[in-house]
């Protein structure tokens, strides 16, 4: 299993916009991709903004490629996600799961 990690940042006053987009647009799209195993969305309230952490789980790098295209390390963001965020990582990190308890 592979975990794909990405982070984005929103203004505290607009902290609800990204989770709404994630639930209504991102998750339905991901669930249609063979090899997608699930996702977690976490948040951390900072002094002046909210940090979001997205962890998606995949069967393989090939499955991620069906979502991300040829550049597996590039972040994939729809315009609605960009509009909801102040800043975001342009790249992602992938982790091979070696223990899943």
Residues 29-66: tens digit of each pLDDT: 999 999 999 999 999 999 999 999 999 999 999 999 99
Mean pLDDT, the chain, as a whole number?
96
Cα separation of 67 and 74, whole Å? 11
Who contacts 44 (Cβ-Cβ below 8 Å, separation ≥6)?
Answer: 50, 51, 53
Cα separation of 66 and 99, whole Å? 25
Residue % of the chain over a pLDDT of 70 = 100
What is the pLDDT at residue 54?
A: 98
The pTM of the full predicted model, rounded to 2 decimals, is 0.93
What is the pLDDT at residue 53?
A: 98
Q: How confident is the model at residue 12 (pLDDT cuts 50, 70, 90)?
A: very high
CATH number of 2-96: 3.30.70.100
Q: How confident is the model at residue 8 (pLDDT cuts 50, 70, 90)?
A: very high
Residue % of the chain over a pLDDT of 90 = 99
């Amino acid at each position: 299993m592979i975990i794909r990690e990405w982070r984005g940042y929103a203004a505290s006053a607009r902290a609800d916009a990204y989770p709404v987009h994630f639930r209504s647009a991102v998750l339905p799209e991901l669930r249609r991709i063979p090899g997608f195993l699930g996702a977690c969305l976490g948040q951390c309230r900072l002094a002046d903004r909210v940090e979001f952490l997205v962890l998606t789980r995949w069967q393989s790098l090939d499955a991620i490629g069906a979502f991300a295209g040829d550049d597996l390390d590039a972040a994939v963001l729809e315009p609605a996600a960009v509009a909801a965020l102040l800043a975001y990582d342009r790249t992602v990190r992938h982790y091979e799961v070696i223990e899943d308890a």
